[in-house]
Homo-oligomer: A and B are copies of this chain.
Amino acid sequence: MRSYGQYCGLARSLEVVGDRWNLLIVRELLISPARYRDLIDGLPGIATNMLADRLRDLEAAGVVERRLADEGNAVEYALTPWGAELRGPIESLLRWSTPLMVRGPEGDAFRPEWLALAVPALLDTRVEVRPSATVGLDIGGPRWQLHATQSGFEVGPHDGRALDATVRAEPPCILGLAAGALTLGDARAFGLVEIDGDESVVRAVFAA
């Protein structure tokens, strides 16, 4: 990206992560470190040369680091500590996007891993969580889980533990999460998301 030439933190941030695809690459790496092929799969539409270019840029800027995995046989990309701090700006944009998500998918691609960022961003962690609870998310494909405790939330692939409740939904529905459309099926034991009228305020209410 061409420099803005402004001594302003926003302008300098955008010179690092403002280029097309950059923040989406960071999104993928926030979900988990990944191989080149994983990134191609998680970024539908990206050209292979673009991904290579952007990974070089982000590595040079100190956002991404390239590591050797699989006993030196494979390259793996991961965020540096500073790169991982982009979770804040990204969660903030995820909250801001609610009015854009209520339109529904409209044919756009959807990957359940993206929930691993979106759900914690939309949940209001200031709401008191009394006991811990784990909810399974069946969205087609492998089951995911949301584990909530007093100290926060974790979203990831289901690790086989016992579940306090289960949510089943088709992709157009599960991301209705952001729109409050996810009524949570049989979740008598666990209220997940609530939207306050038109204001798109999202709150977590746990009663497990």
Contact = CB atoms under 8 A, between A and B. Distances in A.
B88 A7 contact: no
A8 interface: yes
A146 to B, nearest CB: 17
A123 interface: no
A182 interface: no
Given A6-B108, A7-B110, A8-B114, A13 B100 contact: yes
Given A85-B96, A100-B16, A109 B9 contact: no
B94 A7 contact: no
A101 to B, nearest CB: 5
A188 interface: no
Given A16-B100, A99-B82, A100-B16, A8 B27 contact: yes
Closest 3 CB pairs of A and B: A9-B97, A7-B108, A12-B100
15 contacts: A4-B24, A4-B108, A5-B107, A5-B108, A6-B114, A7-B104, A9-B93, A9-B96, A9-B118, A9-B178, A10-B90, A10-B93, A13-B94, A14-B93, A16-B100
